[in-house]
Each structure stands twice: as C-alpha cells, then as structure tokens.
C-alpha cells in the first residue's frame, strides 16, 4: 500500500543547531515533493518544492534533499531559532493533476 | 499575497444537521481543495475542483458534497452531520498554470458535531 511517513515524535533541539526532518514514502513515484510549515490553529504554509530530477534545493536557512532511490526527503533548518518551532509537513504529488498526499507531520521544538 | 478565507473558525452543530462550510480565495485560482485534518492521520483530501462547476472526489468523499458555482468560492456540505465528522477542515487553492504550484491554505474551521 502507499504510505508517506514522517516521524510522529516531536524533535527537540537547541537554538543554533541544525534540525533535520525526514519524510519516507513507499509505492509512490512522485513528480515532486513539497514541504509546508503549520503553526497551531493555522493552515499550512508552503516552504519549498523539489522535483524528482533534483537532488537538493536551498532557500535561506532551509535545505531539502530528495533521494528517489531511497524514497526519502530530508528537510534541514540550519542555525535554528525558537521561531522555527512548528509542525512541518511533507507532501507528494504524482503526475497528472498532481493531487498532494500529505504526511502526518513532525513537530519541531527549538529551545533557547 | 494570496488570501484564502474560511467563513468560520469554530462551528458547533448537531447530529443530522446539514452543514455548510464556505471558502473564498481572492487570486483567481482554478484549483480548489477541501481537506480534513485529524491527529495521527494528517491531511486527507475530501473533494477538489479543477475549475468552476467541476468537482472530483478525493480520498474520503463519503458523507460530503461540494459546490463550485463561482471561481472564487468552494463550498463543502455535510449532508447529514455525524459525530465522526468532528474535525479540522482546511480549504486550499492553487493556480493551474504550471506544475508544482504551491497550495495556499485557509486557517481552517474546527467543526464539532454533538
């Protein structure tokens, strides 16, 4: 069956460290993968897109990698800040209409 | 900035009622989506719409219907509300001009069915 898995346990790190979040998938051939941030009581907000033929994308302190052999994407936040505390969702899109299929999200807590 | 507005942040209804959730976007996006979000299950797609008057079932359409009479508005209808439809409902929109466009979400409606 098709699955997208993100670590359901919260990730606790200290300010200034790099946070690494994982998204694994099975039985999908994604055209691309997106990462979203969601704050409590708010809707998800788009952060980054990475396509199937790209290995890595960067945006300011954010970096995403995509390994279609391992069927995994890693999301990194360098020099993390308490304001980065939120839930981060990965989402796959298949070809065609590109409906998104979301993971359950990983909560990140950055302590001062 | 794209704005997706959901009509209510919190809503309490009774079992058996017909419930309408409204969503309006201001960016002339062709595609619109309704999701529900539950702890441990993530976002699940209920219905989506390619364009005006077009609708497609998502992964969990049972007990729901939708309406898209105008491009900016996408309504979710619970035909006869049941307690298992208590959830956070999120609406999103997206342009259709090229692949990979992000979805823009509203802030959700937390619906409780008593």
- Cβ of A103 under 8 Å from any chain B Cβ? yes
Q: Residue B81: pLDDT above 80?
A: yes
List, for residues B2-48, the tens digit of each pLDDT value: 799 998 999 999 999 999 999 999 999 999 999 999 998 989 999 99
Domain containing residue A48: CATH number: 2.60.40.10
SS3 assignment for A23-58: EEEECCCCCEEEEEEECCCCCCEEEEEEECCCCEEE
Cβ neighbours for B85, distance < 8 A, ≥ 6 positions apart: B36, B63, B78, B111, B113
pLDDT (tens digit, 9 = 90+) per residue, B38-69?
998 989 999 999 999 999 999 999 999 999 99
Domains, chain B, in order of start with CATH, read 4-113 (2.60.40.10)
CA distance B40 to chain A (A): 6
pLDDT band at B99 (very low <50, low <70, confident <90, very high): confident
State the pLDDT at residue A30. 87
- b/e map B73-109, b = 16+ CB within 10 Å: bbbbebeebeeebbbbbbbbbbeeeeeebbbbbbbbb
Alpha-carbon span A37 to A34, nearest angstrom: 10
Q: Look at residue B75 in the predicted model and tell me its pLDDT.
A: 97
Q: How far apart are CA A71 and CA B90, in angstroms?
A: 28
Residues of A whose CB is below 8 A from B50? 97
> What domain range includes position A26?
3-111
What does the pLDDT read at residue B82? 97
What is the pLDDT, as a whole number, of residue B40?
Answer: 87
Residue A36: predicted pLDDT = 98
Single out the residue of A73, A100, A57, A81 nearest to residue A6, CA to CA.
A73
Task: Please give the backbone phi and psi of residue B30, each rounded to the nearest 5 degrees, phi first.
Answer: -75, -40
Task: Sort out which chain B residues have CB atoms less than 8 A from A96's CB and list them.
Answer: none
pLDDT at B1 over 80: no
pLDDT in tens, A21-45: 999 999 888 889 999 999 999 999 9
Provide, as residue numbers in chain A, all residues whose Cβ is less than 8 Å from the Cβ of B42.
Answer: 89, 102-105
Query: Would the pLDDT of A109 be above 90?
Result: yes
Q: Report how far apart, in Å, the C-alpha atoms of A15 and of each of A80, A85, A110 are.
A: 5, 10, 6
Could you give the number of structural domains in chain A? 1
């Amino acid at each position: 069956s098709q699955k997208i898995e993100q670590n359901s346990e919260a990730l606790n790190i200290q300010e200034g460290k790099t946070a690494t979040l994982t998204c694994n998938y099975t039985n999908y051939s994604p055209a691309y993968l997106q990462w979203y941030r969601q704050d409590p009581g708010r809707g998800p907000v788009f952060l980054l897109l990475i396509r199937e033929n790209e290995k890595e994308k960067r945006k300011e302190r954010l970096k995403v990698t995509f390994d279609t052999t391992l069927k995994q994407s890693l999301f990194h936040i360098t020099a993390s800040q308490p304001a980065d505390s939120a839930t981060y969702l990965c989402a796959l899109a298949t070809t065609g209409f590109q409906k998104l299929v979301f993971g359950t999200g990983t909560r990140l807590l950055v302590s001062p | 900035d794209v704005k997706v507005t959901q009509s209510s942040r919190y809503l309490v209804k009774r079992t058996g009622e017909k419930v309408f959730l409204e969503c309006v976007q201001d960016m002339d996006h062709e595609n619109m989506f309704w999701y529900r979000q539950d702890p441990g299950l993530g976002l699940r797609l209920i219905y989506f719409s390619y364009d005006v008057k077009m609708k497609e079932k998502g992964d969990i359409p049972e007990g729901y219907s939708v309406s898209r009479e105008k491009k900016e508005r996408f309504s979710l209808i619970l035909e006869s509300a049941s307690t298992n439809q208590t959830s956070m409902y999120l609406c999103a929109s997206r342009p259709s001009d090229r692949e990979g466009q992000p979805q823009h979400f509203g802030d959700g409606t937390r619906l409780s069915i008593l």
